[in-house]
Amino acid sequence: MASTITASTLKVNIREDIKLNGVQQGGSHTFELNNVNEIYKRIVTCPANIDTTAARFRSDTSLSGSSLDIEDVRYIRVTNLDDSNSVNLSLQIDTGENDSGANDSATLLLEAGNSFMMGSTNDGIAVSSDNNTVITDLVDLESILIDPSANAVDVEIFIASV
């Protein structure tokens, strides 16, 4: 069966709006992703004290039916929909780039109402324990985990692929 989906352009607009002493200090940035033909969007309820996998990425999606093709993902946004509780957003990293699972992780605080964005999952991330080291040899993002701590929270995940 041939696909009937027509690829389209995703437009993303990031905007800050603040006036200090009557002068606009905010800014905006708009960018476009062409040839998007797949969207993964869902609101995930994360039960208290349980790490929840919000998305998984693989080069061979047959290994896991719910995985997104790591080579096609171009844009990710995760938004904490809770109005008062933060979550720990854990980026699980496949340093071996072999679909065998995560070898490392990077965790960041995603405060109530805030969003995290990133681009490609293929060769798009790395971590290092060396001080003052800029890593230029990037590897694959394996999955995104949400740790809500002691509070049940909802997060929204939006992923665009080509």
Each residue of 88-117: pLDDT tens digit?
999 999 999 998 899 999 999 999 999 999
Q: Looking at the domain assignment, is residue 102 inside a domain?
A: yes
What's 71's domain CATH number?
A: 2.60.120.770
pLDDT at 158: 98
Q: Looking at the domain assignment, is residue 135 inside a domain?
A: yes
Count: domains in the chain:
1
Residue-wise pLDDT tens digits, 32-70: 999 999 999 999 999 999 999 999 999 877 656 679 999
Q: Looking at the domain assignment, is residue 23 inside a domain?
A: no
Q: Looking at the domain assignment, is residue 1 inside a domain?
A: no
Q: Looking at the domain assignment, is residue 72 inside a domain?
A: yes
Whether residue 29 is predicted with pLDDT greater than 90 in this model: the reply is: yes
Joined tokens for residue 129:
């324990």
pLDDT at 62: 64
pLDDT confidence bin for 1, thresholds 50/70/90: low
pLDDT at 130: 81
Q: Of 132, 30, 42, give the one whose Cα is nearest residue 78.
A: 42
Q: Looking at the domain assignment, is residue 29 inside a domain?
A: no
Q: Looking at the domain assignment, is residue 10 inside a domain?
A: no
pLDDT at 64: 60
Residue-wise pLDDT tens digits, 123-150: 999 998 887 788 899 999 999 999 999 9
In sequence order, what are the residues at sequence separation of 6 or more whose Cβ sits closer than 8 angstroms to the Cβ of residue 30? 11, 12, 13, 14
- Cα 120 to Cα 24, 38, 66, 159, distances in angstroms: 32, 14, 18, 10
Q: Looking at the domain assignment, is residue 65 inside a domain?
A: yes
Give the residue numbers spanning the domain of 134.
Answer: 37-161
pLDDT at 100: 87
Strands 87-94 and 140-147: antiparallel
Whether residue 16 is predicted with pLDDT greater than 70 in this model: the reply is: yes
Interatomic CA distance for residues 43 and 149, integer angstroms: 18
Joined tokens for residue 61:
């999606």
In sequence order, what are the residues at sequence separation of 6 or more whose Cβ sits closer than 8 angstroms to the Cβ of residue 17? 24, 26
Interatomic CA distance for residues 58 and 73, integer angstroms: 10
